[in-house]
Structure 1
Amino acid sequence: MKSRVSDDRFEKMIKISVIICTHNPRRDYLNRTLESLRNQSLSKAEWELLVIDNQSKVPVKNILSADKGDNIRVVVETNLGLTPARNRGIEESRGDLLIFIDDDNVVDPNYLSRAMAIMEDMPVLGCIGAGVLEPEFEEEPADSVRPYLRMLALRTVKETQWSNIPTDSIIPWGAGLVVRRNVAEKCRDKVKADSLLSILDRKGSALNSGGDNEFTWTACEMGYGKGLFLDLKIVHLIDRKRLQKPYLIKIAEGHAFSWGISRWNHLRETPNIPSETSCFDIVRSIARLRVSEALSGIQKLIDRRHVDAFASEIEAARISGRKRALKLIKEN
């Protein structure tokens, strides 16, 4: 009976649950993530750390053997995918506030304390995220890929901002996502009940990416707002693999797919598939005396000639992602 009372008191002290979902983590990156969490200004008595091991080849508990004295709890989730891993984290957590940290995030020492203060001061917000997600590259990216690095969850907003409009650009991303428990549980239940929502995120080598946006949609549907805060800062460790063109092309396809599915689920908008303009189309427009249509087609062909090859591959990948989403929508 005494231990139960002690456990109850402990759980009441836990205000924040930090959740790391990981699949075959890079050990040096994960260690830096854990070190940044050890250095948090918020007392360890007020937060817990859950590491959700999602089918890692080397069990994460073996990697963390040296950290067993910390407030870390490792939970194994055998259902592969970021979505079931997040759901397991929600179910296993005890805090009223959940913070999702990626296994390659170096978190600012005041991240937890500031997140808690913001959510206490602004009860109208259901989820918030890092306004500063700056990179630390394993190697310098080529100039040709720099325009697309935002896809790697990198950004710095100009000012703190919030809204309750789910379709605007104020979207907290999964790296550092802070969400109230009631919003997280509502989102979990929605995702479990809808087969389309359950495939929005990464699963093994698949790079679908959009499950974190569901927390934003859910918060707004529940009457909350969401925001990005400049004093929530994370350094995102980017390995060389993610700076390669094939990876960026694959993630562009995954983003477009998830975005298409999400817009259908919430707005009943089907993905827009742009038509390809050919010389035959231009000739046909001229034959029909549609001069403005013909001129527009000629301009599109000229523009296409001036786009570099990698930009064309990225755009083709995005179109492919939209087509994949549209096909799945029609099948369901």
Structure 2
Amino acid sequence: MPDISIIICCYNSAERLPKTIEHISKIENIESQIEIIIVDNCSTDATSKVAELELNRYSKNIDYHIVHESRPGLYNARKRGCQVANYDWLLFCDDDNWLERDYIINFLKNLNEYPHLEIFGCGISNPVFEKQPQKWFYKYQYLCAIFNIEERKKNVMISNSMEVESFVCGAGMYVRKEFINAYFSDYRFKLVDRIGEALSSGGDTDLVWFALSNNLHVGQFSNLKLQHYITANRITKKYIIRLYMGISFSFALLDYKYKSTTKKPRVFEFFYHYVNNLLHFNFLISRLIYAEFIGRYKAYRYIQTI
């Protein structure tokens, strides 16, 4: 059986870590060796102290490492975690992901059936809300990594090219270490992903598209389930708009990197849709259109400097 390094990248995670570690401690396992790696990425709270306390409480039979990464950004934190990892398969667990008890057993089953995959993604991410959101939020909850592939009448979704749609995200993602080391060694620019409270994104998609651009296989599985804890600040319109701008920026860069697509945002087209939605009192949609325009325009300007 392959052994697994669980990597949790943290920025000011002291309040979220206890539940995350508690759920990991309850995961059922058969034969694989497990280690937990906490990467403290420039936290200003007691993340490392809380991590040590909780790991000692729940994971007495599991090796763990707490390391620090001084360069901000999820990309840098993941790279640091990979450098420390001792095992051939890495499980990226966000600090707000509560993995189901069978998360390792089902991965091993999937790996046995699909041994050629480089990435195994979570197929069901159910929300646990700190505060119940308003109805409008559910239309945009996918932006917060809330999804269920069974709603697409799928239990397994496999992709091996850029032409085959893939929805694999970083929450609960298993990655072959040999593959991700090749990704880190690639000479092209990387998306550093979220830095502190900034809502840039795209690092997960960068990793997946790197695999697909090399005709490697990635998959998403409904038997890999987790709960995603959503804090109250993430169900606000302000947050969703900022997140949408960050995603728009990142995907414009990814289109350039992998598809050689560079499009300057069209001001007239933006203005038309923006005003049209304002006139129909679709204020949130108008703000999202504005956020997308700004994100793509910033990306276009950035591309000119590469």
Asked if TM exceeds 0.5, the reply is yes
CA distance in 2, matches of 1:86, 1:278: 36
Q: Contact 2:270–2:289 at 8 Å: present in 1 too?
A: no
> Counterparts in 2 of 1:143-154, with a 5 A limit?
143-154=135-146
Amino acid at match of 2:172: G
SS in 2 for 1:145: helix
Match of 1:17 in 2: 5
Match of 2:41 in 1: 54
Deviating above 4 A after TM superposition, structure 1's stretches of 4 or more consecutive aligned residues are 299-304
Q: What amino acid does structure 1 have at the position aligned with 2:41?
A: N
Report Cα offsets for 1:37-93 as digits up to 9, x if no partner.
101111586111101010111343311333233432111111111110011111111
Aligned partner of residue 136 in structure 2, secondary structure: coil
Report matched runs for 1:315-326 at 5 Å: 315-326=289-300
Return the match for 1:309 from 272, 283, 294: 283
3-state SS, counterpart of residue 128 of structure 2: strand
Matching of residue 37 in structure 1 with residue 24 in structure 2: yes
Q: 1:102 to 1:301 in 2, by over 3 A?
A: closer
Match of 1:252 in 2: 244
- Correspondence 1:175 to 2:202: no
Q: Which residue of 2 aligns with 1:197?
A: 190
| In structure 1, C-alpha distance between the alignment counterparts of 2:34 and 2:169, rounded to whole Å | 21
Name the aligned partner's letter for residue 289 of structure 2.
Answer: E
Cα deviation for residue 310 of structure 1 reads 1.2
Q: How far apart in 2 are the matches of 1:64 and 1:301?
A: 49
2:167 maps to amino acid: I
Query: CA shift at 1:322, angstroms?
Result: 0.5
Say whether the 8 Å CA contact 1:271–1:323 is kept in structure 2: no
CA spacing shift, 1:30–1:94, aligned 2, 3 Å: same
1:225 paired to 2:217: yes
Letter in 1 for 2:105: S
Paired residues in the alignment total: 297
Deviation at 1:273, TM superposition (A): 1.7
Q: Secondary structure at the match of 2:6?
A: strand
Alignment of 1:139 with 2:135, yes or no, is: no
Q: Return 5+ residue gaps in structure 1 as ranges.
A: 1-12, 280-296
* CA–CA separation in structure 1 for the residues paired with 2:96 and 2:284: 27
Alignment partner, residue 10 of structure 1 = none
CA RMSD of aligned residues (A): 2.2
The equivalent residue for 1:161 is 157
Deviation at 1:303, TM superposition (A): 5.3
Change in CA separation of 1:315 and 1:168 when aligned onto 2, cut-off 3 Å: farther
- Aligned partner of residue 129 in structure 1, secondary structure: strand
- Residues 278-309 of structure 1 deviation map (CA, whole Å, 9 limit, x = unaligned): 99xxxxxxxxxxxxxxxxx7x99655522511
Aligned AA (1:171) = F
Q: Distance in 1 between matches of 2:27 and 2:213?
A: 32
Asked whether the 8 Å contact 2:159–2:165 carries over to 1, the reply is no
Deviates more, 1:79-88 or 1:58-67: 58-67
Tell me the TM-score normalised to structure 2 length.
0.90
Matches within 5 A, 1:41-120: 41-43=28-30, 46-66=33-53, 67-68=55-56, 69=60, 70-120=62-112
1:11-54 Cα offsets, whole Å, 9 max, x none, are xx871111000000142x21111111101111586111101010
Residues 302 and 75 of structure 1: CA distance in aligned 2, closer, same or farther (over 3 Å): closer
1:123 positional shift: 2.0
Contact residue 83 and residue 211 of structure 1 kept, 8 A = yes
| Structure 2 CA distance for aligned equivalents of residues 16 and 51 of structure 1 | 14
CA contact (8 A) 1:132 1:230 kept: yes
